[in-house]
A and B are shown apart, each in its own frame.
Chain A
């Protein structure tokens, strides 16, 4: 019982930590192919429209986390789901089970290992919010909103493209340095999030379909 309480309590860390500071995530690949963002008339508007068109409701992912605290990367697998207009779900299936459900402003966090379920407000974590915004905007074909949150740069062509997102400097400081999304046609292949600390996470989407 005692250790159960202690487990639960530690499980709250994730949420509590957010009370006290800024936030999140991981970096993008360093090598960024050069090129004009509108080569061959290939624009962000076209890209997001295409992604929106070819979007599927769920997709499997493999996420690799690189951190300066670690000697080797951590790997987790799971499913990403998206239900328009704004419900986003990340479910980790291995090596542990965990679920983040983002509906509007509400983030529900559920962890089997930590025996806890908890709801938090996305607004409390500005960086997470801009991150989520990027996904929502990309997945719903909303280029205006995407450009509102990020400095965008599109490289490549329709067959193989790279979309680089960098938070506007004017926006409140976030721990996200950049997000690089790459793919082909309307399919997202990989999302790399790079944080200001130099850590990064690389999420490879299998099947190549947007969630």
Chain B
């Protein structure tokens, strides 16, 4: 009839349009930062800003090794020069970087405002004399002529003093002009990327630039040198690629297994191809929906979402299992549709709870699953039957074999037994219930983490972990507060509570401080007199220090320095990451290095009681953040279950039936949780999210098993269909469970165990009188 022609035709047209749209319009992002939530507290927001765009996230640590020290030094120089020419790097440090002439003259013009050693005493006669005598010593040192030029204008050495105080972190030892590890086996470099550390695509491009520059260098010279890279951006790229590669080949393996299994079960290639119709429609519709709603689809959503949509593949399997030569596909569909509709609806409700998690990563997954499942069910109901040729019947040895398995066993007594075992395993396990350490979810090898630590130590680069945050209403307010914090931090550093810190006040003093310094500058007459006294008996040429007198005089009424005075310079970049505006508040981020005891440091900072400085342990804070989202997800899971119960009650109109459907699911969740915990795996956000999938599978199994069946043959067909469904699910997720990546493993393990126990519990708890009737 005509429906047979135009329904598939419309579907085909829509599918082609959808695929075309997805291929051309879908914007797939790989910035992990996009998946992060907004954060609900000020600290969390700050943390997330830091994670997204902060300086420490943008640092890439490099090391060159595998050659003699002299060769490594040369290689470091070449690589550093090449990278410095690229606009994508804000700063390239290898020890050989230098201040440009412009930067130095800018600095020199504001030296009396910036120098921390400028006090009234600096220009007293004894201090001047002391300074002048040191300049004489300098002049006869082997390096004298380098200093010579600066002596007439700056005899107290303020410019050099400022540069010295800015050199900041303890820098690595230098060998042949570049930074080297203490044993001279590695030349170390640090580069700051302009792109955020979590912007995986940008980071990957940048890392490719580094690798290319390195390979070019290796090809022209230094063939034995090896390049090591580390840092948050490097890790982000590596993790993403690891997940992609692993997800890709695991899914491929799983898909091949499933298709082979389907083929052997039904002995029909046509059927295997037909079973792809609902799931492919669901994937395309889901992706378009996510893109329309969020403006982009994250790469991770694509990977995981498709896996979660595996449940859709169950719908065509149910249809095919119930088909006989007697009934047309449409007729069969009509009989199983109420059950399938209930299953799809309740599963969709379960996933929609993810939409409310307030966590973009989960919300995207939720929407993809929601739309995908509804589309899949819709397509199975209205499109698929029209595609099946009349008289088509799936049959095969698989069917004969599997139909001998009776799922609805009579050994209901097993249920309490299993539950008791599971509960005790749950209670007696030593494994903590929840995974509190985000770090353990990282698929990075211990070697990589150690390399990062080692390079960080050798470079004296800030740890990604410890941070002080100072708040202020205006920049001036903030700078004044930061100056106080700096003196306190200096005390802590001298007490060896921490190895170092970086703070905006090191570079830009508050206007108040600058004005104090201006007031400390003597007027020309006084300075001239002091200088004259100080010069007595010293062999300096007469009139030599006129530039000095003029500079001090000019500085007394000079315009004060703001942070934007350094825009576009090496220092400007740094200042942007140390001082920034966030939601109408000015914040100073103070990265700390080598914190000895975090509790003690937190106590010390708390004792300052200045109300605007707080210590943030980024690691603790991000764990706390994840925990908050996990708790919220668990909560939503609860609400989802409640909603599912209500819908089931409305649909089934029988409390007993609702109980029969829900009981196996709750039992399965308990067993899965017990298995996970019993096998030493604390639960994480990813396990919890996968519970939703388990619930969806359980609903599907329980609803079909509790369906009023007409005949023994139908019962056998239902059993067969469910066995095929659950086997495909277990195959897919069983493969994932073998992944070395903790997140993939968590999802695979949870879903595979869940599918198996859902099937068993649904069978054990299903009503047995039905097929007799």
Contact = CB atoms under 8 A, between A and B. Distances in A.
23 contacts: A6-B127, A9-B165, A10-B131, A10-B134, A11-B134, A13-B161, A17-B160, A18-B146, A19-B163, A20-B98, A24-B145, A63-B140, A69-B139, A69-B544, A70-B539, A98-B141, A106-B175, A111-B137, A113-B137, A121-B178, A123-B176, A123-B177, A124-B177
B174 interface: yes
A109 to B, nearest CB: 9
A72 B539 contact: yes
A96 B130 CA distance: 14
Interface in B156-208: 156-157, 160-161, 163-165, 173-178
Contacts of A86: none
Which of the listed residues B139, B142, B150 has the most CB atoms from chain A within 10 Å of its own CB?
Answer: B142
A192 to B, nearest CB: 14
B157 A10 contact: yes
Which of the listed residues A14, A100, A120 has the most CB atoms from chain B within 10 Å of its own CB?
Answer: A14
A201 B140 CA distance: 8
A90 B143 CA distance: 13
Interface of B: 73, 95-96, 98-99, 104, 117, 121-122, 127, 130-131, 134, 136-152, 156-157, 160-161, 163-165, 173-178, 539-542, 544
A96 to B, nearest CB: 6
Contacts, number: 143
A25 interface: yes
Contact of A197 (B141, B145, B160): B145
A88 to B, nearest CB: 11
Contact of A90 (B98, B142, B174): B142
A9 to B, nearest CB: 5
Contacts of B151: 69
Nearest to B184: A105
A71 B540 CA distance: 6
A67 interface: yes
A23 B165 CA distance: 22
Which of the listed residues A71, A114, A123, A175 has the most CB atoms from chain B within 10 Å of its own CB?
Answer: A123
Given A24-B146, A90-B142, A96 B161 contact: no
Given A9-B165, A14-B147, A19-B98, 7 more contacts: A13-B147, A13-B161, A24-B146, A70-B139, A100-B142, A125-B146, A128-B142
A61 B161 CA distance: 32
Contact of B146 (A22, A26, A63, A72): A22
A206 interface: no
B140 A76 contact: yes
A37 B192 CA distance: 54
A12 B117 CA distance: 14
Nearest to B115: A9
Closest 8 CB pairs of A and B: A123-B177, A121-B174, A123-B176, A65-B140, A16-B160, A72-B539, A124-B177, A195-B145
A111 B142 CA distance: 13
B142 A105 contact: no
A14 B138 contact: yes
Contacts of B173: 119
A150 B229 CA distance: 40
B677 to A, nearest CB: 55
Which of the listed residues A72, A98, A105 has the most CB atoms from chain B within 10 Å of its own CB?
Answer: A105
Nearest to B162: A16
B147 A197 contact: no
A70 to B, nearest CB: 5
A199 interface: yes
Contacts of B117: 5-6, 9
Interface of A: 2-3, 5-7, 9-14, 16-26, 63, 65, 67-72, 74, 76, 90, 96, 98, 100, 105-106, 111, 113-114, 119-125, 128, 131, 175, 195, 197, 199, 201
Given A16-B163, A70-B539, A74-B539, A98 B137 contact: yes
A67 B148 contact: yes
A199 B148 contact: yes
Contacts of B145: 23-26, 175, 195, 197, 199
A66 B672 CA distance: 87
A100 B141 CA distance: 9
Given A69-B139, A98-B137, A24 B144 contact: yes
B142 A13 contact: no
A100 to B, nearest CB: 6
A128 B143 contact: yes
Nearest to B150: A17
B540 A13 contact: no
A14 B141 contact: yes
Contacts of B152: 69
Contacts of A197: 145, 148
Contact of B174 (A21, A72, A124): A124
Nearest to B117: A6
Contacts of A123: 73, 174-178
B109 to A, nearest CB: 15
Given A6-B117, A74-B539, A17 B142 contact: no
B590 to A, nearest CB: 22
Nearest to B139: A67
Contact of A105 (B137, B161, B164, B176): B176
Nearest to B163: A16
A69 B261 CA distance: 92
A9 B539 contact: no
Contacts of A71: 539-542
A96 B176 CA distance: 29
A175 B164 CA distance: 23
A12 B166 CA distance: 13
A175 B539 contact: no
A131 B143 contact: no
B146 A175 contact: yes
A113 B122 CA distance: 18
B115 to A, nearest CB: 10
A123 B160 CA distance: 20
A22 to B, nearest CB: 7
Nearest to A63: B140
Given A17-B147, A26-B145, A9 B136 contact: no
